[in-house]
């Protein structure tokens, strides 16, 4: 009986310590609370009933060879207790016809009990799979931004997928097959000792030991081959997803052929590894078949000699054959169980590795919800570094008074985007404190903190769903009327209504069916709908034309009235009305003041302002002389764009 060997598996096995040495017992110790959940008596009863049905099925299985023997002995007249022809009732019970019917009836009962057991236990197994997949998914969201920036999306989703499949394999095979198979093996050997003698038991024992030892050695050899196949599958999957996510970039540079060749190289590696995997599987199955056949032949030879000497009947010869075939099924299944469990452990290791990784940012014990009274934000001697050897913020101190607007500007790498990440607690500060209304944000729950801050990022990514879904994401219990009002404030309602499906229009993967300005306005709309006391705007109008930008600026000014606003600005024209402008340079405050004060000071801010004005004037002059390649109403590009920087390089 050949085992199945899935060709598409990914992660290489990480440090086995993730699941207590990567052992079956360590894995079961993790899974047991989900198989036998303390709060689900209904699932516990399903486990109990499944085990009872399994034992009944195994008892029926052991009866089958006996009915076969009795039928053969009745046919050959070798009954040990001859039946008088006048006793019709006893003759009917012991007749070959009755034995044959009994043989078929027991096999039917065996199948019924087995399938009934599987049906009852299915809910237990799938509940464990679902629960652990859910916990892993939630835990992935709890892990820090650093973790997700270091991971590739394709590989991470495969961790969840393979782990989920591996859990199902282990739960079903161990609970429903491994332990009962061991019991059945012991019962079969007991029957052999009772019906025959110790020599048969010795032959069977030797066969089992050699069979399992060979299976162990061959499986260990195959695991290295399979891990190589997993690596190549992960690489191919990751490259495919990465290329498709960057579809437009591929088109911009006419790189379809290059991407196809790059993908084909990884698939070629997967092809070679898969061939080795299936070849090794053939070697494994061949060896198992030879070992078992030698044991089967040995027992049948001994019984044949017994038949010739008159110590056994022909029925015994048939019975030993049926018994050995009966033994072959659990024996071969044990080999398959071992292989599948070893493979499942490889798949689960990475999943448990993710679960065992502690979140970099987490709530302290006893953290309380943030209580926003006025919304004042304060940075006090804040220090931070993505890499300890390269500090980004170096003792930053400033305050955003309640209801006021403070803008953060500065050259590339000054630390502007880092400030927004720290305020949102995507990272924790290395030193100093950030507080809201006097409450250290590290002492409050992350959920309440983020609920109190509305974020409009520069680079908006939308869910692959409808426009209504993406706007409602800001406040899930909002009515349709509230969603549409938020869209009107973000100057996108008219565009939506021009679409055939209106608010039910699908935006595509990451919102690629919408323009940059349309995506930006959807992001603004969902923040408007959220209605937080604190606004964090990371160049919220960077993707808009001048006319729409002014409309959005007016809308944002209305929304920000009475709210504390922190603006990360690249285009200085958008923050001239801020109550205070803070100019960062190399992680420190270089200048601060109003727009007029900073221009009068003639420092870094004035230099940045003059460069942007010169760029704007140059564009206007080119437009006046008829250069159609540059639109006359375009605003100057931002001085920097932290999106292009990795955390380690950006700030």
276-311 pLDDT tens trace: 888 888 888 888 889 988 988 998 899 888 888 888
| pLDDT (tens digit per residue) in 454-473 | 888 877 778 888 888 888 88
Instruction: Tell me if 351 sits within 8 A of 159, measured CB to CB.
Output: yes
d(Cα 488, Cα 473) in Å, to the nearest integer? Answer: 16
pLDDT at 65: 82
Average pLDDT value for residue range 535-542: 75
For residues 498 and 82, which has the higher predicted lDDT (pLDDT)?
498
Instruction: List 177's β-bridge partners, or say none.
Output: none
Write down the pLDDT at residue 226: 76
Q: Sketch the domain layout of the chain as residue ranges.
A: 16-356, 370-452+534-651, 456-531
pLDDT at 451: 87
pLDDT at residue 417 above 50? yes
Tell me how many helices (H) and strands (E) the chain has.
21, 10
**Across 525-535, average pLDDT:** 86
Please list, in sequence order, all residues whose beta carbon lies within 8 angstroms of the beta carbon of residue 397, skipping any fewer than 6 positions away. 379, 380, 381, 382, 432, 589
Give the range with max mean pLDDT: 72-76, 97-101, 476-480, 507-511. Answer: 476-480
The mean pLDDT value for 321-338 works out to 75
Backbone angles phi, psi at 566, to 5 degrees: -115, 120
State the CATH class of domain 456-531: alpha beta
The larger pLDDT score, comparing residue 411 to residue 607, is at: 607
The residue-averaged pLDDT of 187-200 equals 84
Sequential DSSP letters for 289-316: HHHHHHHHHHHHHHHHHHHHHTSS-HHH
Q: Which CATH superfamily is domain 370-452+534-651 in?
A: P-loop containing nucleotide triphosphate hydrolases (3.40.50.300)
Q: Residue 106: pLDDT above 80?
A: yes
Which residues have CB under 8 Å from 389's CB, separation 6+? none
**414, 651 contact by CB (below 8 A):** yes
Q: What is the mean pLDDT of the chain?
A: 77
- Rg (C-alpha) for the chain, rounded Å, is 36
575-628 confidence digits (pLDDT tens): 888 889 999 888 888 899 998 899 988 888 888 888 878 776 776 677 667 544
Lowest mean pLDDT among 78-92, 185-199, 310-324, 341-355: 78-92
Query: Is the pTM above the cut of 0.75?
Result: no
pLDDT score at 150: 59
pLDDT band at 20 (very low <50, low <70, confident <90, very high): very low
370-452+534-651 and 16-356 share a CATH fold: no
User: Which residues are CB-neighbours of 377 under 8 A, at least 6 positions away?
Assistant: 399, 400, 423, 434, 435, 436, 534, 564, 566
**Between 86 and 50, residue with greater pLDDT:** 50
Q: Is 381 left (phi over 0), alpha (psi -120 to 50) or beta?
A: left
Tell the CATH topology of 16-356. Answer: ABC transporter transmembrane region fold (1.20.1560)
Listed range (194-203, 209-218, 489-498, 625-634) with the worst mean pLDDT? 625-634
| pLDDT above 60 (res 251) | yes
The predicted pLDDT at position 540 comes to: 65
């Amino acid at each position: 009986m050949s085992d199945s060997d899935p060709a598409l598996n990914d992660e290489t096995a990480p440090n086995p310590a993730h699941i207590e040495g990567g052992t079956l017992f360590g894995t079961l110790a993790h899974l047991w609370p989900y198989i036998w959940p303390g709060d689900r008596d209904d699932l516990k009863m399903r486990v109990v009933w499944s085990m009872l049905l399994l034992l009944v099925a195994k008892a029926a299985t052991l009866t089958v060879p006996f009915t076969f023997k009795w039928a053969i002995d009745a046919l050959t007249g070798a009954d040990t207790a001859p039946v008088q022809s006048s006793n019709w009732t006893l003759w009917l019970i012991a007749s070959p016809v009755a034995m044959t019917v009994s043989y078929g009836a027991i096999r039917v009962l065996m199948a019924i009990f087995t399938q009934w057991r599987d049906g009852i236990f299915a809910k237990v197994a799938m509940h464990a799979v679902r629960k652990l997949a859910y916990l892993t998914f939630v835990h992935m969201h709890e892990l820090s931004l650093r973790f997700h920036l270091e991971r590739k999306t394709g590989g991470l989703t495969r961790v969840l997928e393979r782990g989920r499949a591996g859990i199902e394999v282990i739960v079903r095979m161990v609970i429903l097959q491994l332990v009962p198979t061991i019991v059945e093996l012991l019962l079969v050997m007991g029957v052999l000792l009772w019906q025959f003698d110790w020599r048969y038991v010795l032959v069977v024992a030797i066969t089992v030991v050699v069979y399992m030892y060979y299976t162990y050695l061959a499986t260990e050899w195959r695991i290295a081959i399979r891990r190589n196949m997993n690596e190549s599958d992960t690489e191919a999957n990751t490259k495919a997803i990465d290329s498709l996510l960057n579809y437009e970039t591929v088109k911009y540079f006419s790189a379809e052929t290059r991407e196809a060749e790059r993908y084909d190289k990884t698939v070629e590696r997967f092809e070679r590894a898969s061939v080795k995997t299936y070849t090794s599987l053939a070697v494994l199955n061949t060896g198992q078949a030879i070992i078992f056949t030698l044991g089967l032949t040995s027992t049948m030879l001994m019984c044949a000699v017994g038949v010739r000497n008159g110590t056994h009947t022909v029925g015994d010869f048939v019975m030993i054959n049926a018994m050995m075939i009966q033994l072959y099924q659990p024996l071969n299944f044990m080999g398959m169980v071992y292989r599948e469990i070893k493979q499942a452990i490889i798949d689960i290791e990475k999943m448990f590795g993710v679960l065992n990784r502690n979140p970099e940012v987490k709530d302290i014990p006893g953290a309380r919800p943030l209580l926003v009274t006025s919304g004042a934000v304060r940075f006090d001697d804040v220090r931070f570094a993505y890499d300890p050897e390269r500090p980004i913020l170096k003792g930053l101190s400033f305050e955003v008074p309640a209801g006021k607007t403070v803008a953060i500007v500065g050259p590339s790498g000054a630390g502007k985007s880092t400030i927004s990440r720290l305020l949102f607690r995507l990272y924790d500060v290395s030193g100093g404190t950030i507080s809201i209304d006097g409450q250290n944000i590290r002492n409050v729950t992350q959920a309440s903190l983020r609920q109190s801050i509305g974020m409009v990022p520069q680079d908006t990514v939308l869910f692959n769903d409808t426009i209504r879904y993406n706007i409602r994401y800001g406040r899930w219990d909002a009515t349709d009327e509230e969603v549409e009002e938020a869209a009107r404030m973000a100057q996108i309602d008219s565009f939506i209504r021009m679409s055939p499906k209106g608010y039910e229009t699908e935006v595509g993967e990451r919102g690629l069916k919408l323009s940059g300005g349309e995506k930006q306005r959807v992001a603004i709309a969902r923040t408007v709908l959220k209605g937080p006391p604190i606004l964090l705007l990371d160049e919220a109008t960077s993707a808009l034309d001048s006319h729409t930008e002014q409309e959005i600026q007016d809308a944002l000014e209305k929304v920000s009235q009475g709210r504390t606003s922190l603006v990360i600005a690249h285009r200085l024209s958008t923050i001239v009305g801020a109550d205070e402008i803070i100019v960062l340079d190399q992680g420190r405050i270089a200048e601060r003041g109003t727009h007029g004060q900073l221009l009068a000071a003639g420092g870094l801010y004035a230099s940045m302002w003059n460069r942007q004005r010169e760029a704007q004037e140059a564009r206007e002059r080119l437009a006046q002389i008829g250069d159609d390649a540059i639109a006359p109403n375009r605003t100057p590009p931002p001085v920097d764009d932290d999106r292009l920087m990795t955390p380690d390089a950006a700030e």
